[in-house]
Amino acid sequence: MAAASAVLQSEWTKIRTVSSTVWTLASALLVTVAMSAALCALFKSTFDDLSEVEQATFDPTFASFSGMILGQLAMVVFGVLVVGTEYSSGMIRTSLAAVPQRATFLFSKIAVAGGLALVVGLATSFLSFFLGQALLGEHRTDLGADNVLRAVVGGGLYMGLIAIFSMGVATMLRSSMLSLGILVPFFFLISQILSAVPKAKEVAKYFPDQAGSKIMQVVPDAMGSEKAPYGPWGGLGIMLLWVAVSLLGGYLVLKNRDA
Amino acid sequence: MIELEGLTKRYGTKTAVDHLSFQVRPGVVTGFLGPNGAGKSTTMRMMLDLDNPTSGTVRIDGKHYRELAEPLKYIGALLDAKAMHGGRSAYNNLLCLAQSNRIPASRVGEVLDLVGLTPVARKKSKGFSLGMGQRLGIASALLGDPEILMFDEPVNGLDPEGIHWIRNLMKALAAEGRTIFVSSHLMSEMALTADHLIVIGQGKLLADTSMADFIQQNSRSYVRMRSPQQERLRDVLHANGFVVVEAGNGTLEVDGATTEKLGELAAENGLVLHELSAQRASLEEAFMQMTAGAVEYHAHGTDVHSGAAAPGPQWGTTSQGA
């Protein structure tokens, strides 16, 4: 067997020597932090205009992650490109000729890229949190309050898992364009729209992003959002199941199909 | 030693590779010849375990490719010149391959030097020309200093200088005792480089022979003659016991004779000759005849095969002096 440590090192070299790594991860961080900060400033200045329910369930922690809805798309792009460029460039044949043990190849790649996405995700959520709280003024909370640390760490996990889920999907579809064409509209539009439509939202609750984002809420069902039949960790568990299914699907496709 | 046993690949109802069995012996250049679409690339991809065979096996020194711990140290392959990430530099493309097989990073510089890419080592490989891409692919094949090298159509799209370089490189590698397996659809290319020949057509094995035997069995020598007095010339030749074939365009082909003998004969009989030349049916023709029934994509309108021994300035025929 190829030594896993050697393959991990090789995958790390691959990831740090392409420019898309830097611009996708930097976008994920900057877009999330900037948009969250802008929305926190907006919440502060318009707090009195919010409805009573919204005021009563205002979740300063969750508010400081509002930019993630856009920032997660950069994570999707990162996850898709890490895998997809192997196929679009034809590098996959060179890579598999060097590491014919496909499980070692795939899971080394995902460990390295997923680990990096988790680190950047955590940095993003902590930055977003601190900047957001600073801008919320009297409505702010702090890291020591109940469940806040869980939500902030959870925000980082969420970002990382979105990237890993995208890697699994791209391995199944073997194409960057196709994967982006499905994942970006799904996370940005379809999931958001369906979660607002009666009946459809009963299903949408179990989508990876809807379930996973519960971990970032300190106030349950914050800001008048839908009641969920699962708690924050339950939601993250559902997201992890999605990630596991996408990785398993990706592995089966890679194992059985011609490169 | 690479052993193929009953290797078969089907795509739906189409059989791309059909019960292929042969061995690639160590220390020689084995040419793998077949027309376009004969299944050469598919076979090579199966040898590297990139494509799964429908049935049959490939063994490398008795092992499956997937069982090789660090395969780049056993087999180096050039399949597709562009199989690298264009946004990565040549150096980094090779470095990540080297690391995966625990090949020291210093080797990357060595192979880049060997293929002459040192000046562009830090340039992104997407800006490379076809020839540079081919050199980068060859550098990746040589990375692990492997005993076995596999090249799929290495001269495709190269300029004459590049072709010359690859030929010499393959000869040099074989001289070091390595096993070279190289595919081509050009017989003339194989004749220059290969010691052993494996010919396939429509996925089936058509020949597995040494180059020398193939040449001996398949090259026919004859003399081509053209004369304004063709009728008389033919009668004279017949009278002297020569076998004459009329080849159209007013030319005659005479087997088993020398130009000297025929020239003297014509002079004795006062015949005017417009052409008297020794010809050898090229290996390309022999190859085309062999694969005639097994060509995947025919060009319509031109009958390539009956023209195999026809005279005239055809690409398939070469003058002996050329």
- Give me the CATH number covering residue B21: 3.40.50.300
- Report how far residue B238's alpha carbon sits from residue B245's, in angstroms, rounded to the nearest whole number: 11
Q: With the CA atoms of A248, A254, A257 and A258 taken in that order, what torsion angle do they form, in degrees rounded to the nearest 10?
A: 180
The DSSP annotation for B249-292 comes to TTEEEEES--HHHHHHHHHHTT---SEEEEEEE-HHHHHHHHTG
Domain identity same for B100 and B118? yes
DSSP state of B179: E
Domain containing residue B48: 2-216
B10 domain-assigned: yes
The pair of structure tokens assigned to A40 is 């926190």
The strand order across the sheet containing B14-24 reads: B14-24, B2-11, B55-60
Task: For residues A99-113, give the mean pLDDT.
Answer: 96
Q: Which of residues 98-117 of B touch A (CB under 8 A)?
A: 98-102
Contacts of B72 in chain A (CB under 8 A): 97-98
**Do B246 and B198 share a structural domain?**
no
Q: How far apart are CA A21 and CA A27, in angstroms?
A: 10
**For position A55, what pLDDT does the model report?**
86
**Cα A77–chain centre separation:** 10
| Residue B130 burial (C-beta neighbours within 10 Å; 0-12, 13-18, 19+) | middle
Q: Which residue type is seen at A197?
A: V
Task: Please indicate, yes or no, whether residues B66 and B188 belong to a single structural domain of this protein.
Answer: yes
Sheet holding B221-226, edge to edge: B244-246, B251-255, B221-226, B275-281, B317-319
Residues 79-138 of A with CB under 8 A from B: 85-86, 89-101
| B89 and B181, same domain (yes or no) | yes
From residue B38, give the alpha-carbon distance in Å to each of A154, B44, B50, B206, B216: 55, 12, 18, 11, 25
Distance from CA of A78 to the nearest CA of B (A): 15
The answer to whether residue A121 scores a pLDDT higher than 90 is yes
Give me the torsion for CA of B85, B88, B93, B99, rounded to 10°.
Answer: -110
Question: Does residue B156 sit in the same domain as residue B167?
Answer: yes
Question: Is B316 within a domain?
Answer: no
pTM to 2 decimal places: 0.85
B35 & B151 share domain:
yes
Q: Domain boundary residue among B216, B246, B265?
A: B216
- Residue A205 is assigned to a structural domain of this protein: yes
Residue B322 lies in a domain: no
Place of tokens 């003339």: B188
- The pLDDT, as a whole number, for residue A53 is 82
Taking Cα atoms as reference points, which of B79, B88, B87, B46 lies closest to residue B65?
A: B46
Q: How many CB atoms lie within 10 A of CB A184?
A: 16
First-to-last alpha carbon distance for chain A, in angstroms, is 19
- B157 in a structural domain: yes
Q: Does a structural domain hold residue B120?
A: yes
CA dihedral (A256, B1, B5, B9) positive or negative: positive
Does A32 have pLDDT greater than 50? yes
Establish if B319 belongs to a structural domain: no
Rounded CA-CA distance B52/B16 in Å is 12
CB contact under 8 A, A90 and B100: no
Lowest mean pLDDT among A22-31, A153-162, B311-320: B311-320
Least confident of A58-67, A88-97, A179-188, B150-159: B150-159
H or E element, residue A85: helix A68-89
Task: Return the half-sphere exposure (C-beta side, CA atoms, 13 A cut-off) of residue B274.
Answer: 9
Examine residue A91 and state whether it is found in any structural domain, yes or no. Answer: yes
Tell me how far apart the alpha carbons of residues B170 and A168 are, in angstroms, rounded to a whole number. 41
Q: What residues make up the domain containing A80?
A: 4-31+69-127+153-256
What ipTM was estimated for this complex? 0.89
Q: Cα Rg for chain A, rounded, in angstroms?
A: 19
pLDDT at B294: 61
Mean pLDDT for A119-125 is: 97
Q: What is the pLDDT of residue B20?
A: 95
Residue B37 lies in a domain: yes
Residue A101, domain member (yes or no) = yes
Average pLDDT over residues A230-256: 96
Shortest Cα–Cα distance, A1 to chain B (Å): 4
**Residue B320 falls inside a structural domain:** no
Strands B148-152, B244-246: pairing is unpaired
Residues B59 and B158 in one domain: yes
Tokens standing for B294?
């097994």
Closest CB from A14, A90, A101 relative to B83? A90
Q: How far is CA B289 from the centre of its chain?
A: 15
User: Taking a C-beta distance cutoff of 8 angstroms, is the pair B289, B199 a contact?
Assistant: no
Residue with tokens 């790649």: A109
Determine the pLDDT at residue B89: 94
What's the pLDDT score for residue B1?
Answer: 87
Q: Which residue has the higher pLDDT, B41 or A224?
A: B41
Determine, for residues A258 and B52 on separate chains, whether the beta-carbon distance falls below 8 Å: yes
Phi, psi of A172 (to 5 degrees): -70, -40
Cβ contacts of B71 on chain A, cutoff 8 Å: 97-98, 100
The count of structural domains within chain A is 1
Does a structural domain hold residue A148?
no
Cβ-nearest to B50 among A6, A89, A93: A93
- Among the candidates B160, B190, B216, a domain finishes at B216
- Structure token digits, residue B97: 């391959």
User: What does each C-alpha distance from A48 to A52, A61, B133, B171 come to in angstroms?
Assistant: 9, 18, 64, 83
Whether A177 is in a domain gets the answer yes
Answer whether residue A35 shows pLDDT above 60. Answer: yes
Last residue of a domain, one of B196, B216, B236: B216
- The amino acid present at A80, given as its one-letter code, is V
Residues A32/A68, Cβ–Cβ less than 8 Å: yes
Task: Say yes or no: B81 and B152 in one domain.
Answer: yes
Task: Based on the fold, state whether residues B179 and B263 are members of the same structural domain.
Answer: no
A136-148 per-position pLDDT tens digit: 988 999 898 989 9
Query: Mind listing the pLDDT tens digit of every residue in chain B (322 residues)?
Result: 899 999 999 998 999 999 999 999 988 899 999 988 899 999 999 999 999 999 999 999 899 999 998 999 999 999 887 788 889 999 999 999 999 999 999 999 999 999 999 999 999 988 898 889 999 999 999 999 999 999 999 988 788 888 899 889 998 998 899 999 999 888 888 888 899 999 999 999 999 999 888 877 777 778 999 999 888 999 999 998 888 888 878 888 888 888 999 999 999 999 999 999 988 777 777 787 777 766 655 565 444 444 344 343 334 333 333 3
Minimum Cα–Cα distance from B66: chain A residue: A100
Interface of B with A in 35-64 (CB under 8 A): 45, 48-52
Q: What integer pLDDT is reported at residue B299 of this predicted model?
A: 60
**Could you tell me if B34 and B96 lie in one domain?**
yes
Tokens coding B200 = 């396939």
Going by pLDDT thresholds of 50, 70 and 90, the confidence category of residue A152 is very high
**What DSSP string describes A209-232?**
HHHHGGGG-SSTTGGGPPP-SS-H
pLDDT, residue A236, reads 96
CATH of the domain at B281: 3.30.70.980
Helix %, strand %, coil % of chain A (to 5): 80, 0, 20
Q: B211 with B194: CB under 8 angstroms? A: yes
